[in-house]
Structure 1
Amino acid sequence: MRRNFVDSQFLCKWLFFAGAVLLAFGSASQHPQLIYGIEFTFTNIFLLMLVRLYGIRMVLPVAVLVYAVSIFIYHEPSYIIIFLFEVCWIGLWQMRRQGYLLGPDALFWLCIGAPITLVACWFSGSLSLIEFIILFSITASNGLFNTLIAEILVNYLPLGRWLGLVQDKPLKVTFRRVLFHLSITLIALPFLMNMIINGRDAYDVSTRTTLQTASNTANSIKGELDQWKQENVLGVQLEGLIQIGYLQEMIKRNTTQKLFDITITNKQNKVLATNNKEAALTREQPQSATLIDDNYLFEVPAQSIVLLPTQQWRNAHYVHAVSLERIPLVISVSVPVKAYQEQIFREYIYQLLYMLGNITIAALLAWVINWWLGRSLMQLARSTTNLPARLKQMVPLEWPNSGILEIDSLTHNFKDMSQNLLHMFQEASWMNQRLQSSEKKLHQLAYYDSLTTLPNRLQFHQVLSGLLAEDGDHNERIAVMFMDLNRFKQINDTLGHAVGDVLLQKVAERFKVIADESCRVFRLGGDEFVFVMRYETNHAPDDFAKQICNCFEAPFDLEDSSVYTTISIGISLYPEHGISMGDILKKADMAMYVAKEQGASSYHFFSQALEDSLNEKMYLENGLRNALHDEQLFLVYQPLVSPASGKTTGIETLIRWRHPKAGIISPAKFIPLAETSGLIVEIDLWVLREACRQAKDWQDRGFPKIPMSVNLSAKQFYRTGLLEDIQTILEETGLSAQYINLEITESVFIKHMDPVIETLTQLRNMGIQISIDDFGTGYSSLSQLQSLPISVVKLDRTFIQGAEQSEMKSSVVKAVIELAHSMGLQVVAEGIETEQERNFFTRLECDELQGFYFSKPLEVSIFEKYLITEYSQ
């Protein structure tokens, strides 16, 4: 069990690790975009969580792989590697000191993140203070947000204990830390969403504004060119200097501010006129274009690897291109992103400053609230520290007053509890004095039986274990005699428990007389006693056991009556039968049950044969639980024949067990085990169902409709639901009730006779026949049978054996049969084995005969052949 738990925990640990790594890769491919290359990444949430749980040694290779994929496959800016440095920093910090992540991460961004960002801006080709501030602010905010979420997940979810990564108690989280996390998270999340939304809105606004400006300018130039005469159009086609001058002049008139560039090209993309030749040359370089609207493009210089996310946007342009139909010209209006980028960056910086201010206010507010709450809580904690010890020493306590209702209520509760504890300590002191004065009495109660004053079970265990542990004379051996009074429960039930207690006292007095230093007696409980005897000669235990039995020859005087009782003694010897106390007691108990079966006052020594027999019973009982479900049980069938015709008039169903190892096991062995274990109820129902099914099958196949007899245990009648179960079986198999004969023994009526008779009457009303089996071996007489709802009496073989040879026994059997017939009962003689027995019971007019003379119990296929042979004659 323990190993399976460890294996499942190991599997969960690595499945969680793999899942977090997959989430890290997934987040590396999907980044929420803000504007102009600035974006948020949540990869480090999962990586920092893994660092905290698994350590930097396991996570670092994964982190390197994740960011390598981001740069070389997802083409992210190389600047994103700063988050890899953040993972390394946090990992190294955790190796030095386990704790919270947010403080070390803030130190990273101040001491390492800012210089790295500044150097990256320098090497990217343009050091802009605004660009540096916005890039560092958003990146640092991104990193701190990731660390905050990772810290919250690790601190408030017991992932380490779930995955078996930590064995000690979880890290305690202070109230101040919880309040800080809650305040910062409630502010940071809305601002994050607001920045994403505002970034997209700003991008849309700048795009629409640029489109409108570029469209108006291009349409203005197009309107002028549409008024040109044909000779000017021809001059443009010939690239005449005059017409090109006109175009340059036209561009100049439409360029009121240096906010955009205008370029006019021919169909071969040759520049004919422009207001910015450098921009025109730059646009001839490879560009990555994105179509925004009809004739409206967004162009970014094409670079495979960039350093900063804002680097490509420095030379990015909005381009509106209009192609003229009458004149083979293309008018391009290019608006650089720089015209809007700096303004939007400033707005973002203002938002970040606003968020920082709110976070600072929230942190201060959380600190003030924490100070206000914490002061009262700390005072209460100081007052309740070592409270029991201080109360024992009667140290006066000072309880704080608080303006917070809950804390004030808690203080009052502690105050009341301390008063109760003080009172309890005073009572405990008084009780301790009484306990000390009662030590001898407690010892008596602990080690001696209060009823008989004999040593009790606890002292018995101590004495026996001490004897077994002694390194004394090995010639001295030990006998343990386990005793149980016979019929003690019957005496208790009939005469009362008070009389039973007196009997136990009388028995203890007789045991005290024969006990001595070498043979001590103990009462284990109830009616169980045990002698522990030290002896040297082999016959000593046998002699002493006889002496114990002699104690029960005389009656016991119990108040107004005298009672005879007997005792059963089981004896085990040390070291012959075992060297441990458990073995010796178990084997003495086993021997005692054998003695109880012998009756009267008797004793029995343990033997290996006894243990083998009990082990066989246990083996069969354990196997019996699986026999029914594994189809090891099967039915055999024995005919009941008519004395007159010799034809089969009934069939008795009998159960057999084919054990996979022991072979065929006799019902005489396993039926008593089924009775004691309670399995007989389930086995009986299985036999009845199988018998009904087989009878219905034979009827459907054309065999004679012969009643089927099935034995029912007495336990069936001491439970509810028997009638419903039989009705269900008949409905399931489709067999009519008139073809079922239930055989019961006389033991059914030993107790609860009236309910049993009521159940049998209901079965008779259903059409089912009832038979008394093994008549003559139980407690009933024929005079009692007339009050029972039965129709058949089956005479047991022990009752009729040798009746044809004994005149007295013959007369008794004849009288029983005649009396049964006079009561309207049919009589079946079972156990017919000879021709003489058959002729004898035929003359006595028995209704049916059964026995090996006609047929042994046969399996189904052989019995079918028997029926076919019989009815074909």
Structure 2
Amino acid sequence: MTMFDTRKMNLHSRRIFYFALLVILGAAGELLRIPMIFGLNITFSSIFLLLILLLYNIRTAVAGAAVVAVISYFFGGNSSLVFLLIVEVAAVGLLLRRRRRNLFILDLQYWLFIAAPILFILYFSFNRELNAAITIYVSKSAVNGAFNALIANILLAYIPARKWINEGVYSRSRVPLGQILFQLTMAASMFPFIVFILSGSIFHTSDLDQKALQRSGAIAAYIADELNTWPQQELRALQLESIAEIGKLRDVMVKADNEPMISMGLLDQEQDILVGSQKRLTGAGEDWKLEGIVYRLAENFYIQFPDNNRTPFVVDAWKEAVYIHTSKLPVTPFSLQIRVPMQLYAADLITLYLINYVGILIFVILMSFFSIYTGRYVTGGLRKLAGITSGLPEKLHNHEKVKWPSSGVEEVSLLINNFADMSENVTRMLDESERLYQSLRIQTDKLAVSEAKMQQLAYHDVLTGLPNRLCFTSLLSTLIANHESTASDGLIGVLFMDIDRFKQINDTLGHAVGDMLLKEFGARLEAIQQERRLIHGDMTVCRLGGDEFVILMNGTSRVLMAKVAEEILEAFQRAIFLGEHELYIHTSIGISVYPDDGDSGDEIVKNADAAMYAAKGAGGRRYEFFSASMQARLIERLQLENNLHKALELEEFELFYQPRVCTATGELRGVEALIRWRQPELGIVPPDKFIPLAEETGVIHAIGEWVLRTACRQNRMWQLAGYPELVMAVNFSARQFENPNLLQLFTSILNETGMAANLLEIEITEGFLMQDKQSAAEVLRKLEAMGVRISIDDFGTGYSSLSQLKDLPLHAVKIDRSFIQNIGWDETKSSIVSAVIQLAHGMGLRVVAEGVETSKEYEHLSSINCDELQGYYFSRPLPLFDMEQILRQQQPLLGGSLKEDLV
């Protein structure tokens, strides 16, 4: 069975279920009646039968009405006229076929023009007369039917029955405003009247019962009182059924109530009649409780209705009903039966209810016409407005003439006027927009050109024209997504690189030269890309920012990645000419592979970056593939960074001191304070491992302040202990000079420790000076004004010359160890160092050679008049205790600490 067949079967089952449910409700509405006076009832069966008519079709509704009629006939007592349910459904269904109109009006028309004539004819055929009773019956039935039609209409309008039956999905339908007004008006009109009639029926029925009970009771009491006055011999004669006493009792009955319609009878012990107020008391002596339908209303008080099968009109049966009062006569074995006919009190009530029912019917008819007229009056303008406003934008755009309706309702008229005003404004706006359209077309063409340019700017680097970081990130994400969806065997490679020592070149030669270098670097990578594309295919060069470049390779292998990396390294073996500058640059390359080295683009780029730093750490000018060990080093670096933040607080730093001696005498002239980190888990961490990390994280400011304060305090303590005055040299990095309160820091520490400013020497690198010479000179002059000495550390490694430093307030120059090592055997180094010493002396600067390790180096430096020496030949960096041992000896250090040559 297909899905369509299953759905169709489910729909069919659902329709059968709801049909059965409505039939059951219709039967319940017919059997569970609300009783009224004259034996009339309010029923609700037609509500559900009309719902079947509206939801299904006329044949289904007629079949449902027939089922309800049969059930009512067999279980509802006197229900001979239930065939009118079938006629009602069929007639209303035919009327609906001809014209879809208000169900209430159609049902009312049925009762007035079809059901009413049928009922009058039937009544006349049974009774040979027409009277008020049949008019009441017809009026009640018409009001009941119209009310049920109104309820059915309301239920269908506000309950999604069609969706339940046909689709099983809840959906609220839209109800016209006129229908809502009509339903509200009719419900508000009919419901109070029906409640009034029901309450009146209950009251009048009870009132009739009380009147009959009181009258019959009074008759019985009168007769009993009369019998109490009789002498015993008359009572005995009466018991013997004496004709004289029986006649006398008849006279008492007549005197008790002379209403001819009321009959009284004296019954013996066998319930045979002895005497009656009338010549014949029909049925009094028989078992009257088995005749017709008898209801007990009170003690010894009953009401008897004739057999229902005699007439289909319950009004007739109600009119012929009789109240029966039975009582035991005192001092006799006889019983008294009093019969009070309902007709005795019915005349006035029939007139009253005739007026009520006919009045209600007339009122309902008038109110229906009034509601229809009012609904059309109120909603007519709205309907016309809805019709006119359908497709209004197209009409206004085509400049069609719109004829706005009028309405006598103020709010509707105001709404129409508002729509008219808005339409005029919209028309003007459309005309203006049409004029702007041509202008916008021109602007659109210009915007398209601008958008293309913006696209270029958004995804390409301005300087080199290469794809930028945004473009690279998007492309890498796309490649990874495609790789996952296609399950490709090829790899995605990321080659991450930057220019070795680019910052020094940029700071030394200027940003203009640096920009030209970046363009040339990108151009050479592009040349490799173009050449490799002929062999490899998908390969993209991007600039991420600064001097960072990346090559993205798709569908490749590790072998091909390595070949490309080798070609890149080879491409930069050749010199680069930038104007008058000839540069030899190198790069370090880190390679990360997807999916081997990560699951996401961010992870792949991060690992390629780590691999590049590993290549730099291995000496640079090489490439490295990412490995797990690099990840371990990254974790170690993170752990080192976390520990570094706590080192000061935990007092893990310590200062070592390396002596500086006079070349001529070997006397101690000063010391250089060198920081050491004793980490409990890692041991002694060398400065070259944690100082760059401290500069990167900003912790260098706190560490530098601690070093400066500790060195100054220790130097002052040595002076107070009587040791010779020494110059305390402290290294300062470029990051420390970023502190805006640097001068205040020096002043505060010098004042706090009491050390003379001329005994403090700040060692700075020449690379820092070349970054911003003017700003550096300003800070250094202020330090010099305070008395602080300034020296250049690692001179010769920063692409500068003494002539470039002549305007700076310097006191000494420290020649880097790379120039001192093997100086006695290397004539080139000897010439360079000799020239530097002569130029420095010519500028009034002292010269310090660092890294002296052999006697040969010492003797050569002495021969070319170097002022001071520092290195392992004299002493290693010493902890505080060992340094104080040397101070206490107060002897020259000529080879004192390291006798053997360290060649």
Q: TM-score, normalising length from structure 2?
A: 0.52
1:155–1:173 Cα contact (<8 Å) kept: yes
What corresponds to 1:215 in structure 2? 217
Q: Are residue 781 (structure 1) and residue 789 (structure 2) matched? A: no
Q: Are residue 338 (structure 1) and residue 343 (structure 2) matched? A: yes
Secondary structure class of the residue paired with 1:280: coil
What corresponds to 1:607 in structure 2? none
What corresponds to 2:440 in structure 1? 434
* Structure 1 residue 169, shift from structure 2 partner: 8.7
* Structure 1 residue 782, shift from structure 2 partner: 3.5
Q: Are residue 451 (structure 1) and residue 459 (structure 2) matched? A: yes
What is the aligned-residue RMSD (CA, Å)? Answer: 6.0
Change (3 A) 1:424 1:15: farther
| Matches of 2:540 and 2:49, distance apart in 1 | 70
* Structure 1 residue 195, shift from structure 2 partner: 0.5
Larger displacement relative to structure 2 (434-443 or 267-276): 434-443
| Matches of 2:192 and 2:104, distance apart in 1 | 19
Selected match of 1:157 from 156, 159, 163 = 159
| Matches of 1:169 and 1:176, distance apart in 2 | 21
What corresponds to 1:315 in structure 2? 320
What corresponds to 1:646 in structure 2? none
* Structure 1 residue 134, shift from structure 2 partner: 1.1
CA offsets, 1:668-714, max 9 Å, x none? Answer: xxxx9xxxxxxxxxxxxxxxxxxxxxxxxxxxxxxxxxxxxxxxxxx
CA offsets, 1:10-55, max 9 Å, x none? Answer: 9988876666555445444421111131011123323433443355
What corresponds to 2:392 in structure 1? 387
| Matches of 2:588 and 2:96, distance apart in 1 | 83
Structure 2 residue runs without a partner (length 5+): 480-486, 507-514, 612-627, 629-634, 651-678, 687-903
CA offsets, 1:70-124, max 9 Å, x none? Answer: 3323435222342344345445666787764223322332343224423543465
* Structure 1 residue 256, shift from structure 2 partner: 3.0
Q: Are residue 325 (structure 1) and residue 330 (structure 2) matched? A: yes
Q: 1:221-236, aligned counterparts within 5 Å?
A: 221-236=223-238
Q: 1:790-801, aligned counterparts within 5 Å?
A: none
Secondary structure class of the residue paired with 2:337: strand
What corresponds to 2:361 in structure 1? 356
Selected match of 2:259 from 238, 257, 261 = 257
What corresponds to 1:245 in structure 2? 247
CA offsets, 1:395-451, max 9 Å, x none? Answer: 465666767554355345535643554465333662465346645964995897653
Q: 1:41-80, aligned counterparts within 5 Å?
A: 41-55=43-57, 63-80=65-82
| Matches of 2:267 and 2:554, distance apart in 1 | 122
Change (3 A) 1:548 1:67: farther
1:552–1:601 Cα contact (<8 Å) kept: no
1:391–1:418 Cα contact (<8 Å) kept: yes
The AA in structure 2 aligned to 1:112 is I
What corresponds to 1:764 in structure 2? none
Secondary structure class of the residue paired with 2:258: coil
The AA in structure 2 aligned to 1:246 is K
| Matches of 2:215 and 2:98, distance apart in 1 | 59
What corresponds to 1:374 in structure 2? 379
What corresponds to 2:108 in structure 1? 106
Secondary structure class of the residue paired with 1:281: coil
* Structure 1 residue 170, shift from structure 2 partner: 7.0
CA offsets, 1:638-666, max 9 Å, x none? Answer: xxxxxxxxxxxxxxxxxxxxxxxxxxxxx
What corresponds to 1:470 in structure 2? none
| Matches of 1:6 and 1:555, distance apart in 2 | 77
CA offsets, 1:275-307, max 9 Å, x none? Answer: 445652388453332222233221223557963
Selected match of 1:268 from 267, 270, 276 = 270
Secondary structure class of the residue paired with 2:213: helix
| Matches of 1:7 and 1:354, distance apart in 2 | 51
Selected match of 2:123 from 117, 121, 124 = 121
Secondary structure class of the residue paired with 1:207: helix
1:318–1:334 Cα contact (<8 Å) kept: yes
1:75–1:305 Cα contact (<8 Å) kept: no
Change (3 A) 1:419 1:342: same
* Structure 1 residue 225, shift from structure 2 partner: 3.0
| Matches of 1:187 and 1:251, distance apart in 2 | 51
1:316–1:337 Cα contact (<8 Å) kept: yes
| Matches of 1:219 and 1:245, distance apart in 2 | 19
1:552–1:566 Cα contact (<8 Å) kept: no
1:10–1:163 Cα contact (<8 Å) kept: no
CA offsets, 1:598-646, max 9 Å, x none? Answer: 96999xxxxxxxxxxxxxxxxxxxxxxxxxxxxxxxxxxxxxxxxxxxx
Change (3 A) 1:303 1:390: closer
1:244–1:272 Cα contact (<8 Å) kept: yes
Secondary structure class of the residue paired with 2:283: helix
What corresponds to 1:347 in structure 2? 352
Q: Are residue 30 (structure 1) and residue 38 (structure 2) matched? A: no
Secondary structure class of the residue paired with 1:36: helix
Structure 1 residue runs without a partner (length 5+): 465-477, 534-539, 572-586, 603-671, 673-744, 761-777, 786-873
| Matches of 1:313 and 1:181, distance apart in 2 | 35
The AA in structure 1 aligned to 2:276 is T
Change (3 A) 1:562 1:549: closer
What corresponds to 1:147 in structure 2? 149
2:565–2:589 Cα contact (<8 Å) kept: no
Change (3 A) 1:283 1:32: farther
2:493–2:561 Cα contact (<8 Å) kept: no
Secondary structure class of the residue paired with 1:178: helix
Q: 1:698-847, aligned counterparts within 5 Å?
A: 749=639, 781-783=682-684
Matched residue count: 588
The AA in structure 1 aligned to 2:183 is H
| Matches of 1:260 and 1:129, distance apart in 2 | 23
CA offsets, 1:316-367, max 9 Å, x none? Answer: 1011223212233322221111233343232222112332344345445434
| Matches of 1:11 and 1:563, distance apart in 2 | 80
Selected match of 2:300 from 278, 295, 308 = 295
| Matches of 1:305 and 1:525, distance apart in 2 | 109
Change (3 A) 1:514 1:123: farther
Q: 1:690-701, aligned counterparts within 5 Å?
A: none
Task: Report which of the two structures shows the higher radius of gyration computed on alpha carbons.
Answer: 2
Secondary structure class of the residue paired with 1:72: helix
Change (3 A) 1:592 1:382: closer
Change (3 A) 1:365 1:8: same
Selected match of 2:203 from 201, 204, 221 = 201
Secondary structure class of the residue paired with 2:246: helix
What corresponds to 2:188 in structure 1? 186
What corresponds to 1:83 in structure 2? 85
* Structure 1 residue 392, shift from structure 2 partner: 1.8
| Matches of 1:242 and 1:748, distance apart in 2 | 137
What corresponds to 1:871 in structure 2? none
